[in-house]
Structure formats: C-alpha cells, structure tokens
Amino acid sequence: MTTEILKSVEPTLYEEDYYLWVETTFKQLENKDIENLDWQHLAEELEALGIEQRRKVESYLKQLLIHLLLYRYWETQKQDCQRGWQIEITNFRDELEFYFRSKTLYNYSINCLDAVYIKARRQAIQKTALQPEIFPEKCPFTPEEIFNNEYFPE
C-alpha cells in the first residue's frame, strides 16, 4: 500500500521534463500509440493552446485599437508621433493577420471587439491624459477599417 501511495506522488514526465513530454507525446501521436498517451495532460495542453491563441488575438487587437485611437484623437502629439503610430498599427495588423488564417479566431475578434475596445479606450485615456469624452464610448472603427492595411484614421 505504501508503495502505491508513493507511486501516485512521484512526478510524471509532464511534471519532470515538459519538453521531453512534448517530444514523447508527439512521437506517440505520430506512431498512433494511443494506448500510452498521457490523455489528461494532452487535453489540458490543447485547451490551453486555444485559450492562449484567443488571448493573443485580444492583446493584439487591443494594442491596434489603442494606436488607432491615438492616431485619430491625440492631435497635440500627432505631428511628432504619427509615423511611429503607423508602424505600430501595421505591426499589430500583421500579427493579427497571422492568427486570422483561422476563420474561428477572426470571428472571435469580431465577437470580442466591443469588450476589447473598452479596455483600449481606457488605456488611451490614461496614456494621453485627455478628457474621456474625446474618445467615443463605442468603437468608432468598423472591422473593415480596423483590419485594412491601408486605413489610418484622419
């Protein structure tokens, strides 16, 4: 009985050497060795991967919206910062374009746009110290404008 208890407390390969667990799991999948798969951790990792991709889409979208807001509404800094903002807007669009190879992630970005905009607006207000009324409460950009590589708000 003591041996069984000790076995259950021994760390698994997943806990001891994550990278080796990934390599081993990959080889097991390649070889269709489904009987020896660590199903619990594999399921957790796949779920975490999906969550992480959605989180990245939200993060890039928020940064893109912040920079679109700065570009449109922070008039006193526009002359000095416009080029930098354009570069950042382009960078965030490029990152999102990579994720949007998945239509599911594109649709996710559309569905979370309103919630992400609220956070972007709040950060733009903090960054600029402008009056909150300057920034619309609802997103002033359409998805087509947000993701259009040629669009910069005037």
Q: Does 91 map to a domain? A: yes
Q: Does 47 map to a domain? A: no
Q: Which domain holds residue 118?
A: 55-147
Check: CB of residue 71 under 8 Å from CB of residue 85.
yes
Quick: pLDDT tens for 77-111.
Answer: 999 999 999 999 999 999 999 999 999 999 999 99
pLDDT of 6 above 60: no
Q: Does 130 map to a domain? A: yes
- Measured distance CA(148)–CA(6) in Å, rounded: 58
Average pLDDT, the chain: 94
106: exposed, middle or buried (Cβ count in 10 Å: 0-12, 13-18, 19+):
middle
Both tokens of 107, joined, read: 């649709």
Q: Does 127 map to a domain? A: yes
134: exposed, middle or buried (Cβ count in 10 Å: 0-12, 13-18, 19+):
middle
Quick: pLDDT tens for 25-47.
Answer: 999 999 999 999 999 999 999 99
Domain count, the chain: 1
Check: CB of residue 87 under 8 Å from CB of residue 52.
no
Q: Does 8 map to a domain? A: no
Q: Does 35 map to a domain? A: no
**How would residue 22 be classed by pLDDT, with cut points 50, 70 and 90?**
very high
Q: Does 135 map to a domain? A: yes
The model's pTM is 0.86
Q: Does 109 map to a domain? A: yes
pLDDT of 5 above 70: no
In percent, how much of the chain has pLDDT > 90? 91
